[in-house]
Structure 1
Amino acid sequence: MARTLLALLVPEADPVVASFRDQHDPSARRGLGAHITLIYPFVESELLSAGVLARLRDTIAEVPAPMFRLHEVRTFPAVVWLAPEPTRSIMQLASALEHAFPEQPIGGGAFPEFVPHLTVARRVPQEKEAIANEVRARIADYGPIYCWCDSVALLVNEDRRWHRLAEFPLLH
């Protein structure tokens, strides 16, 4: 069985964060570009039936495609991340997915609430502030990152690499 992930892919952020992610986020080294996780883990790959895929497609098709910008650097313990603003459309999407798939809680049920974020660096307790300051400087030079996600990606982790299984269009 292979784990799956539902995410908003954010390639617009790669010019700013890819070098940090390559160095400080194992998922980047396994082929997963800049993204905002919606549900992880999602359904095990062997359980992705036509019914599950149809429910996923129908749910996502009714939610407006999120437009947001990334410019604020924040931290969790041992994590540096970018905050999307506004979050309303991402929260609406997360809520719709949670309603359609209550057995697959947003954030895997590990956190009390869903916080939309784009991870820049993980497992960096000592370097967290230095990395956050470097990212802030890079964003100051680059400017805000403007994003529009027109689909949700379903990805699978097989052979220690992330692969895109499908994309589901959001409402335009």
Structure 2
Amino acid sequence: MPREGATALVVPLPEADPLLAAVAARFPDAVRPLPAHVTLLYPFLPADALDDRVFAALDEVFADRPPLRVEFAECHRATGFAALLPDPAEGLSELVGELRRRWPDLLPYGGRFGTDVDLHLTVALNTAEATAEAVAREIVPEFTPIRAHLREARLIALQGRWQLRRRFEFTA
């Protein structure tokens, strides 16, 4: 469970919101209360550590990045978890690599799943195995493949609820 003041760098994926809405309609506890997104780095720096230097460094990371076209079709499953993997993942992986080079001590998900985590769109999380299996087998196929045009990254902070702190447009 994220702590107050936690931050994350995410890429919004509005094309997948209908999928998450369908999952939430059938299994409300399986979906987090966030719009569809791919996480680039969570946790990022604490909200109270965000300053002009951090914003300038993030501006550099995201400068001259072209919009990305990706497709989400492959469903990955683990216990109580279902996610869609982006194809191609290279453009997003390059962003993660640059973030990790700039902030090498920040491990994805605090290192809970190792030092490298596949980029993904979470569809069901921390749910019963039967629920995750039903999501992957019964709901995901109705909505995939999802073709997306990724145009920005966002820095969000948990301050009562997840709130936007800054947008970084892909404009190259």
What is the TM-score normalised by the length of structure 1?
A: 0.87
2:167 alignment counterpart: 167
Pairwise CA RMSD of aligned residues?
1.8
Identity %: 28
Question: Structure 2 vs 1, CA of residues 18 and 26 (structure 1 numbering), >3 Å: closer, same or farther?
Answer: closer
Answer yes or no: is 1:58 the counterpart of 2:60: yes
Tell me how many residue pairs correspond in the alignment: 165
Q: 2:102 and 2:171 mapped to 1: Cα distance?
A: 17
1:24 equivalent among 29, 33, 44: 29
Structure 1: which 5+ runs fail to align?
none
Residues 73-88 of structure 1: pairs in structure 2 closer than 5 A: 73-88=75-90
1:2 alignment counterpart: 5
2:72 equivalent among 70, 84, 89: 70
Partner SS, residue 105 of structure 2: coil
Q: 2:72 and 2:29 mapped to 1: Cα distance?
A: 19
Superposed displacement of residue 64, structure 1: 3.6
2:118 alignment counterpart: 115
Residues 79-158 of structure 1: pairs in structure 2 closer than 5 A: 79-112=81-114, 113-124=116-127, 125-139=129-143, 143-158=144-159
Contact 1:73 1:135 in 2 (8 A): no
Contact 1:65 1:89 in 2 (8 A): no
Question: Structure 2 vs 1, CA of residues 63 and 101 (structure 1 numbering), >3 Å: closer, same or farther?
Answer: farther
Superposed displacement of residue 153, structure 1: 0.4
Partner SS, residue 114 of structure 1: coil
Superposed displacement of residue 54, structure 1: 0.5
- The one-letter amino acid paired with 2:136 is A
Superposed displacement of residue 62, structure 1: 4.2
1:43 alignment counterpart: 45
Contact 1:2 1:158 in 2 (8 A): yes
Q: 1:102 and 1:92 mapped to 2: Cα distance?
A: 14
Contact 2:22 2:139 in 1 (8 A): no
Partner SS, residue 111 of structure 1: coil
Q: 1:42 and 1:153 mapped to 2: Cα distance?
A: 12
Contact 1:17 1:135 in 2 (8 A): no
Contact 2:93 2:119 in 1 (8 A): yes
